[in-house]
């Protein structure tokens, strides 16, 4: 059978559960519990991990002890540890802890920015210049994230032109790793394919990342569409935790273990041990004290069903 679609041989998954996953949880985990999760993530083979954010503790209480987590964790060679920062003070805190990579984020939606911060996206980004200057002077790395790239609870669909304006501003700052984020799960596969294809062609110098929430059960389909557009780096959160305190209706991120399972079934390598990733998700559910949106934990791996069937046939 001929196949006109070219699939990637390998995909990179960035684990954001310790930041985007935990920031909206009612249960505030201790540093020790976060360290258990971090160690489990590393043991599964994940090579890019967002360990938290350096924001004001009153704004996001779950991130109040990110400094202590960084002090307690063991940095494993070959693993990228990054943190989300909102401003220069956040960058300075990250540097003092020994974090070498930070991520700056802004919304593509003017309505979202104005509603939450009383500034337009470009006005918010004016403060990023000092952040980038500090990063470069201190041997750090920086990436960018563009939230509500596909839709906004205040504005609805976000025009491509608004996303482009933010991309251009990031590029002017010298930032060439950018994430397009579906903050409230409003994206659909056709939209993802069209925006992704356009951005890959328009900005070939950018390392594109996509970040999907599974609010309306379209995250996995959106990842497939993004791969068809040529994007091979995706965020996920263990057990499907997540949500944004500043975006009404933002439910959980796509579950990391569900993404791994789908990709492995498609013959696409992630470099991650799925069984160990599922162990991380189970640990997560125990720590937060409730069930989460993880399909592979509910149903098991396809591989397990095949093995069970073969076992029954052998016994018969």
Is the torsion defined by CA of 299, 263, 204, 80 positive or negative? positive
DSSP state of 28: P
The token duo for 307 is 């093995």
Q: Tell me, yes or no, if 131 is annotated catalytic.
A: no
Going from the C-alpha of 37 to that of each of 187, 191, 262, 271, the distances in angstroms are: 29, 34, 22, 19
Exposed, middle or buried by CB within 10 Å (0-12, 13-18, 19+), for 145? buried
On whether the CB atoms of residues 235 and 277 are closer than 8 A, the answer is: no
DSSP-based three-state secondary structure for 50: strand
Residues β-bridged to residue 269: 10
Q: Which helix (H) or strand (E) is 103 found in, with range?
A: strand 101-107
> Positive or negative, the Cα torsion across 181, 186, 188, 193?
negative
Tokens of 17: 């559960």
CB atoms within 10 A of CB 27: 11
Other beta carbons within 10 angstroms of residue 4's beta carbon come to 4
Q: What distances in angstroms separate CA 9 from CA 71, 83, 151, 304, one per listed residue?
A: 36, 28, 30, 23
Could you say which of 113, 131, 244, 302 is catalytic? 244
- From the number of C-beta atoms within 10 Å of its C-beta (0-12, 13-18, 19+), residue 115 rates as middle
- CA distances for 135 relative to 79, 85, 87, 296, angstroms: 19, 12, 12, 39
* Residues designated catalytic: 244
């Amino acid at each position: 059978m001929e196949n006109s679609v070219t699939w990637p041989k390998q995909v990179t998954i960035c684990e954001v559960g310790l930041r985007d996953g935990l920031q909206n949880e009612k249960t505030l985990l201790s540093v020790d519990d976060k360290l258990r999760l971090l160690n489990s993530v590393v043991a599964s083979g994940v090579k890019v991990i967002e360990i938290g954010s350096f924001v004001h503790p009153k704004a996001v209480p779950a991130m109040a002890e990110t400094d202590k987590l960084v002090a307690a964790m063991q940095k494993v060679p070959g693993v990228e540890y990054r943190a989300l920062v909102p401003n220069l003070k956040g960058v300075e805190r990250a540097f003092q802890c020994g974090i070498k990579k930070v991520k700056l984020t802004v919304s593509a939606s003017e309505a979202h920015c104005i509603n939450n911060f009383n500034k337009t996206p470009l006005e918010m980004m004016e403060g990023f210049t000092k952040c980038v200057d500090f990063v470069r002077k201190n041997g750090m790395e920086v990436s960018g994230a563009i939230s509500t790239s596909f839709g906004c609870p205040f504005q609805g669909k976000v025009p491509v032109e608004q996303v482009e304006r933010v991309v251009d501003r990031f590029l002017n700052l010298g930032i060439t790793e950018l994430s397009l984020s579906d903050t409230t799960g409003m994206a659909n596969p056709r939209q993802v394919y069209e925006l992704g294809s356009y951005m890959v062609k328009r900005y070939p110098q950018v390392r594109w990342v996509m970040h999907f929430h599974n609010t309306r059960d379209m995250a996995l389909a959106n990842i497939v569409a993004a791969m068809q557009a040529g994007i091979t780096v995706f965020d996920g959160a263990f057990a499907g935790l997540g949500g944004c305190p500043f975006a009404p209706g933002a439910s959980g991120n796509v579950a990391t273990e569900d993404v791994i399972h789908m990709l492995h079934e498609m013959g696409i390598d992630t470099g991650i041990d799925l069984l160990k990733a599922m162990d991380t998700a189970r640990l997560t559910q125990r720590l937060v004290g409730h069930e989460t949106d993880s399909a592979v934990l509910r149903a098991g791996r396809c591989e397990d069903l095949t093995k069970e069937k073969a076992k029954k046939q052998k016994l018969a």
